[in-house]
Structure 1
Amino acid sequence: MKTTIHALQSKKGVEKITAITAYDALFASLFDAQVDVILVGDSLNMSFGGKEDTLSATMDVMIYHTKAVCAGAKESFIIADMPFGSYQTPKMAIKNALKFYQQTPADAIKLEGGKERSKLIKMIVNEGVAVIGHIGLMPQFARSEGGYKIKGRNEKEMLKLTEDALALQDAGACMLVLEGITAKVAQHITQQLNIPTIGIGSGEKCDGQILVWSDMMGFFQRFKPKFVRQYLDGANLIQTALQRYVADVKSGNFPSLEESY
C-alpha cells in the first residue's frame, strides 16, 4: 500500500517515521516498503557525484534521479530535493516545483530555509504541491556560513529555530527535516508542532530519523559524521567480493562449464 502524507502525519506521537536516501531504481527497490520515506536528496552530488558539496546539483540531475527512484519504489513516500538555485524567486520556485510533479511521480518536494521561505512555501502549496521544510544545518548554506555549523546552541538560536518551524507549519509544510540541531532544541520544536519532524543529527526525540544510505551502509569512507550509525561494512564487503572475482577470472576459475553457453 502506498504511504501517504496523511499516514505519515498520523504517526506523530504514535510511531517513529523511518527514512533513508536513494538515488537509483535498484537501491530504491531494496528500500521500498522497508522504510516509510525515501528522499532523493541533493546529497547525491557528494555521495554519487564525488563533489565537495551539494551546490552544483541541477534540476535536470534531480529529476533524472527522482524518476529512477520512483521507478524502483512503489510504496514508500518519495520526496525530491529542490536543488540550490532552483527556488530563488517565487516564479522560479513554482515553475520548478511543478516540474517535479509534472515529470516525476514524486509525492513531495523539499526545500531549505526558515521563516523567510514561508511565503514561498505557501505559494507552492497553493499550486497543489506538497512541501517538506528543512531547517537547522542546511547544506545549501554551508559555503556561505563557512562550514557545517550545529544549530541551537543558545537561547537566541532556539527561539529563531522555533519561530522558523512554526512559520513553515503555518505556511502549509506537511513535515519538517531538522538537521544538525541540538537534541534539546529539536525536542522542543517537535513538541511545538502538529506536523512530524524528521531528524538527522538532531537527537532521538524527533518524530522520525533519516540517514544517507551510503553513510548508514558503510560505503562512504572519507569520514563518518558523529550522528551516523553504520549498519553494514559495505565498502569492505564490496572490495572483498571484487577481489574474489578478479582472482577467479585470472585463475580461470570463472566462468565454469555450468556458467558457459
Structure 2
Amino acid sequence: MFNKVRRALNPSKSLDPLQYLPLEIAEMICHNLAVRERVTTLTHVKFLHLKGSRLAGAGTWPMLPKLKSLCLKAEGDYLLDVSELAKATSGVMSVALKGWRLQNIHGIEDWTALQDLDLSNTEFSLLPMLPATLRRLILRDSRQLEGFNIPEDSFWVNEVLEASIKHGKLRVLSIGNRLVHEPGHMSAAQWAEEFPLSLTLRELSLAASLLDEAGLMRVVQGYPHLRVLDVSYTNVTGVAVKRFVKILMR
C-alpha cells in the first residue's frame, strides 16, 4: 500500500487503482498529501472496510474528473453523503456504495453517465430518477425500500427506471430481499405490478423476495428476453421452477 502511495510523488506516474485499505475516508483522500496531489489522475477507485461517522457524512471531496469506477464499502453503520460525493465524480460510469446509511441520495442525479449502480445492503428513504444510461441496478438486501415517499397508487421501480427502459438500456436488475407486506399499503400481488416491463432485460434477481409464487411468476412474464433468473430463498415450488425454465428457454 505504501509503495503505491509513494509512486504518487513521482509526477511522471499516475496512481494505480486502490483496492484495499481499512482506513477512514477523510484520512486517506483528504489528508494524505501524496494521494491528494495525484488524485485528478484516478480512473478506478475501490476502498473496502471503510470507517466513517455515525453522526455526519463525509464533507467535501476532492475533484475526481477522470474517475470512471468507484466502490466504497463500509465496515459498519456509517453515514455517507451522496450529494457531495457525486459533485466530485460527475463523470463516473460505475458506482458501488455498499453497507452505508446514505444521506442526500438525490445526488445520484449528477451522475449523468452512470451505467452501473450497486447499493447493496444500504439504508436510504428515497431513490431519485435514474439516468437513461443505466444498464445495471443492484438493490439487494436493501430492505428499507418499502419506505419510499411516493404516492400510494404509484410504483417506485417503474418510476426510477423509466428513462433507462424507455431508451432500451436496462440489462440487469437485482432487487430481492425486500419487505413487501406493509399493513394498509399494497398486497404482494400489487407489489409485483411495480416491476417495469422491459424488452431488453437479460438478468433478474428476486432472491429472498417475499412475493408469493404467483407474484414472482407475474414479474418474470414481463421480461420476454430474460436469460438469467435468481429466485433462491423464495417459496417457489418445483412446478414453478419448471415454468421458469420454460420461460428462459423460449
* TM-score, normalized by the shorter chain, greater than 0.5: no
More helix per residue: 1
Instruction: State the TM-score, normalizing by the size of structure 2.
Output: 0.34
